[in-house]
Amino acid sequence: MRVYYHQSEVKRKSKGASVALPAPQRQLLITQKLLWAQVQLQKASLLVARGSENGINLYFSAFQIVQRAASMLQDVLGPESPKVAAALRDMGQVQALRGCFRDALDIYKRALRIQTRATGYDGYAANARVADIMHRMAEIKIVLGKHRWYFVLHKSGR
């Protein structure tokens, strides 16, 4: 499914100045952009599931698709939206699959910052999305060797 935009739908020009669209048309355009981003994210997940095809690594293509969808969501919903955080989480996952662990960790940090602001700072244990991002960050830190093992010693009373 493709969503096409005509320049006259995006903004109307009158003597070099742009005029805002009426509310119903603006809402329709926003809905179309959100739908386009969802379709792109699904397309990227299909590419990640296939992994490679005819010896061609599909992760780079998936990363580009997720990156475009995340920027579209950021333009439509703003940089602090939980949907942007979800797209960033997907982008970090693709980067980790590509082997770009440091980039993936940076992307996960940004996604975690957005998600914690959306759910509240005391929602670490209560929110599954925050826990998922933190888990993925921990996995990457283990791969990079930037982890610390904390052992809790329990006294058994013997």
**23-144: which CATH topology?**
1.25.40
**In 3D, which of 117, 94, 98 has the Cα closest to residue 107?**
94
Query: What distance in Å separates the CA atoms of residue 145 and residue 140, rounded to the nearest whole number?
Result: 8
Q: Say whether pLDDT at 158 is over 80.
A: no
Q: Estimate to the nearest angstrom the gap between the alpha carbon of 31 and the chain centroid.
A: 18
**Residue pointed to by tokens 């005819």:** 54
Average the pLDDT over 94-110 and give the result.
91
pTM: 0.72
Q: Give 1-36 pLDDT, tens digit per residue.
A: 344 444 444 444 444 455 676 777 788 888 888 888
What is the average pLDDT value for the chain, to the nearest integer? Answer: 78
According to the model, what pLDDT value does residue 47 have? 85
**DSSP letter string over 110-137?**
HHHHHHHHHH-TT-TTT-HHHHHHHHHH
